[in-house]
Amino acid sequence: MTGAVSLPMYDWPEVREATDRLWVTIQRELTERGIDAPESLLRCADPEALWTDPSLLLSQTCGYPYATMLAGKVALIGTPAHAVTGAAPGRYFSVLVARKGEAPRDTGKLAERRFAFNMAQSQSGFAAPARLLAATGHASLPQPLETGAHRASICAVAEARADWAAIDAVTWELAKRHEPAASDLVVFATTPQTPALPLITGSRNSEKAGAIADAVEAAIAAADTEVRDALFITGLTRFRPADYAPLSAPVPARQAFPNLA
């Protein structure tokens, strides 16, 4: 049976057509390499269940769950590169955003400002800002607001339900193009670069990982300009599992956010 495929991490409604078109190209490249693949991407409410399916053919996950939960259970394919962020190929960072006219000068001014985050398992939305605050000896004291998605965090800050958020740099580019609330915000800091969101395959397909990576890389190169522009995608970086290992270090959540629920 053909394993499921999904590309859930940047699959905003506004770019869904481009994501589907990229998948068509990937599927063609997989077929040319003797790998059966479904015609359509699976879009499910809980991608985590798919990530742990041994028969998974291809999906994308966040670096933090990959490093802490999935490494050793799935095979790493590679990491898409998005040159629009200015990060090194296959790497990314978080932008710290606040309302225009209310942005702090630095992270030391966040003590009384409420933090919005997508989920505690997010590298860009939670782990990266927590580590940045702890490393500089600072904290955000109000109880943080969990929103469930980067886009929802952007809206929460714009609507003054929270005061700042950490947003995946690629998502921020999507938001500037497609989310009106982003126009009310400004970037006041960034976190250090880390390996970006990895593509994975299930354990049953681990021997095909190299061929799958070749297919994805060829598909990105063959994608038309419209698709590449819509998704900000430029290539594939072949990271090793060890490159993600630093992300598995304990997150100093209570140090950064003492009143986390």
What secondary structure does DSSP assign to 75-91, as a single string? Answer: EEEEEEE-GGG-PPTTE
Whether the CB-CB separation of 82 and 151 falls below 8 Å is answered with no
Ordered domains of the chain (ranges, CATH) = 13-84+196-247 (3.40.190), 94-192 (3.40.190.10)
Whether the CB-CB separation of 140 and 189 falls below 8 Å is answered with no
Whether the CB-CB separation of 11 and 171 falls below 8 Å is answered with no
Whether the CB-CB separation of 82 and 92 falls below 8 Å is answered with yes
Whether the CB-CB separation of 63 and 195 falls below 8 Å is answered with yes
| The amino acid at 60 | Q
Among the listed residues 63, 95, 52, the one whose alpha carbon sits nearest the alpha carbon of residue 241? 63
Residues 173, 174, 180, CA angle at the centre, nearest 5°?
A: 105
| pLDDT on residue 1 | 47
| pLDDT on residue 46 | 82
Q: How far is CA 16 from the centre of its chain?
A: 16
Token pair recorded at residue 229: 């522009």
Q: Write the DSSP symbol of residue 168.
A: E
Whether the CB-CB separation of 21 and 223 falls below 8 Å is answered with yes
Please list the pLDDT of the chain residue by residue as tens digits (261 residues): 468 999 999 999 999 999 999 999 999 999 999 999 999 999 987 888 899 999 999 999 999 999 999 999 999 999 999 989 999 999 999 999 999 999 999 899 999 999 999 999 999 999 999 999 999 999 999 999 999 999 999 999 999 999 999 999 999 999 999 999 999 999 999 999 999 999 999 999 999 999 999 999 999 999 999 999 999 999 999 999 999 999 999 999 999 999 998
| pLDDT on residue 48 | 86
d(CA 22, CA 17): 9
Q: Write the DSSP symbol of residue 104.
A: -
d(CA 198, CA 219): 16
Q: How many CB atoms lie within 10 A of CB 206?
A: 16
Helices (H), 33-141: 47-51, 63-65, 128-135
| pLDDT on residue 49 | 87
